């Protein structure tokens, strides 16, 4: 029997839950990231199999959880080869054949299936849905199909990872997020990215690889840091498929301050970070401030006019968004709180 469901597939009571994956060992977005966060041991098995080139389209990667409660099987359904690519319909049709085969061989009596290849995969649900129906129509199995609506809120997604240990870098990030605005303020990923950028620019080796992107300096590997903290020290990061609203939980700010309080170097750094971002605590302000700093650092403009030109030539968006007076205001602020005298060449 086929039922159509809405909501959080990971909370379904079925014997088997289907996850959509690629073949290169990355669960970085969407429902795959939700599974990674909820079932870290399943991710480790999947990652190990990918390293051995054992995960391929058209074939299910099945993990027996051996759990007394919750799903008995997590079935990783490859809908892509590389995570950057779109899904091909052939991956779905061939995969469904193997999925049905494994359901029969394992004697699975109930299964929850997401909208295979839709969303990040780019396929049309109206074309995928009848393929799933056809594949299971003759099976005596309770099939629950989760349609591409009603995904769980970011702060309601299941987390099964272990609490990470506190480190200087994590403590600085958490403490900086706490002092960014009033305690109940929820930050966008853009704001968190820029806070992390300035933590690193004050000398803390976060090992983040910032590059020039649409909204200013951006580090892809910061997402792995946020995934690790999610559910333990922060909430609201979610699965990267929706606008994040990140906030601290579990007294994270106190734990961070307690960790840093005995280090004069780090407490001074935290105060410096506060002064850097002070007055610019909005998505607009942080993008402006980080963009201006990046230009000064990488382009070394020799005049205000050259600085303005470099910022506005970044892309059409910044040219329209940032007026000259705001660019100069950000520069004057940075000159006071962050930029070394050797970097201060404009005027």
Domain boundaries, the chain: 2-149, 168-337
Residue 341 has pLDDT above 50, yes or no: no
Instruction: Please state, for a pLDDT cut of 70, what percent of the chain lies above it.
Output: 96
| Per-chain mean pLDDT for the chain | 93
309, 214 in Cβ contact below 8 A?
Answer: no
Residue 340 has pLDDT above 90, yes or no: no
193, 217 in Cβ contact below 8 A?
Answer: yes
Question: What's the start-to-end Cα distance of the chain, in Å?
Answer: 73
Lowest-confidence segment of 82-96, 304-318, 329-343 by average pLDDT: 329-343
Cα(196)–Cα(277) distance, rounded to whole angstroms? 11
| Residue with token string 């201006």 | 292
Instruction: Please state, for a pLDDT cut of 90, what percent of the chain lies above it.
Output: 85
| Residue with token string 């601290």 | 248
| Residue with token string 């590059």 | 211
Cα(208)–Cα(12) distance, rounded to whole angstroms? 37
Closest CA to 346 of 288, 304, 290, 283: 304
Please, which pLDDT band fits residue 297 given cuts at 50, 70 and 90?
Answer: very high
Please indicate whether residue 212 is annotated as part of the active site.
Answer: no
Sign of the torsion angle spanned by Cα atoms 287, 288, 291, 294: negative
Closest CA to 293 of 244, 226, 340: 340
pLDDT of 150 reads: 59
Residue predicted with more confidence, 112 or 339: 112
β-partners of residue 64 are: 73
Cα(260)–Cα(172) distance, rounded to whole angstroms? 8
Angle at 241 between CA 238 and CA 243, to 5 degrees: 70
Lowest-confidence segment of 35-44, 64-73, 134-143 by average pLDDT: 64-73
Q: Which of 36, 80, 194, 318 is catalytic?
A: 80
Give the side-chain half-sphere CA count within 13 A for 272: 19
Q: Is 100 helix (H, G, I), strand (E, B) or coil?
A: helix
Residue 296 has pLDDT above 60, yes or no: yes
Q: Which two tokens stand for residue 240?
A: 């990267």
Does the domain at 2-149 match CATH 3.40.220.10? Answer given as: yes
Residue 329 has pLDDT above 60, yes or no: yes
pLDDT tens for each residue of 244-290: 899 999 999 999 999 999 999 999 999 999 999 999 999 999 999 99
Mean pLDDT (whole number) for 210-227: 97
Residue 347 has pLDDT above 70, yes or no: no
Residue 15 has pLDDT above 70, yes or no: yes
pLDDT tens for each residue of 157-210: 889 999 999 999 999 999 999 999 876 789 999 999 999 999 999 999 999 999
pTM for the full predicted model: 0.79
Please, which pLDDT band fits residue 346 given cuts at 50, 70 and 90?
Answer: low
């Amino acid at each position: 029997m086929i039922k159509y469901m809405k909501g959080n597939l990971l909370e379904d009571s079925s014997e088997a839950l289907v996850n959509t994956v690629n073949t290169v060992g990355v669960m970085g977005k969407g429902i795959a990231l939700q599974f990674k966060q909820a079932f870290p041991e399943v991710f480790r098995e999947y990652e190990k199999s990918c390293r051995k080139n054992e995960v391929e389209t058209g074939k299910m990667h099945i993990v027996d959880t051996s759990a007394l409660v919750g799903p008995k099987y997590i079935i990783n359904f490859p809908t892509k080869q590389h995570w950057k690519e779109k899904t091909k319909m052939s991956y779905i049709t061939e995969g469904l054949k193997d999925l049905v085969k494994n359901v029969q061989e394992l004697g699975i009596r109930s299964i929850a299936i997401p909208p295979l290849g839709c969303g990040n995969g780019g396929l049309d649900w109206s074309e995928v849905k009848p393929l799933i129906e056809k594949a299971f129509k003759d099976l005596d199995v309770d099939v629950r199909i989760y349609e591409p609506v009603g995904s769980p809120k970011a702060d309601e997604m299941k987390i099964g990872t272990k609490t990470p240990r506190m480190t200087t870098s994590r403590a600085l990030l958490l403490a900086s997020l706490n002092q960014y605005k009033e305690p109940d303020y929820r930050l966008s990923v853009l704001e968190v990215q820029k806070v992390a950028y300035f933590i690193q620019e004050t000398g803390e080796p976060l090992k983040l690889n910032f590059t020039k992107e649409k909204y200013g300096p951006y580090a892809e590997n910061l997402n792995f840091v946020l995934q690790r903290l999610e559910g333990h020290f922060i909430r609201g990061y979610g699965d990267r498929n929706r606008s994040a609203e990140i906030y601290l939980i579990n007294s994270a700010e106190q734990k961070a301050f307690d960790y840093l309080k005995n280090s004069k170097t780090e407490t001074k750094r935290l105060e410096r970070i506060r002064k850097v971002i002070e007055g610019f605590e909005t998505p607009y302000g942080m993008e402006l401030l980080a963009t201006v700093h990046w230009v000064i650092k990488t382009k070394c403009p020799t005049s205000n006019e050259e600085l303005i030109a470099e910022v506005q030539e970044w892309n059409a968006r910044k040219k329209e968004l940032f007026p000259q007076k705001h660019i100069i205001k950000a520069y004057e602020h940075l000159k006071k709180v962050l930029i070394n005298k050797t970097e201060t060449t404009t005027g």
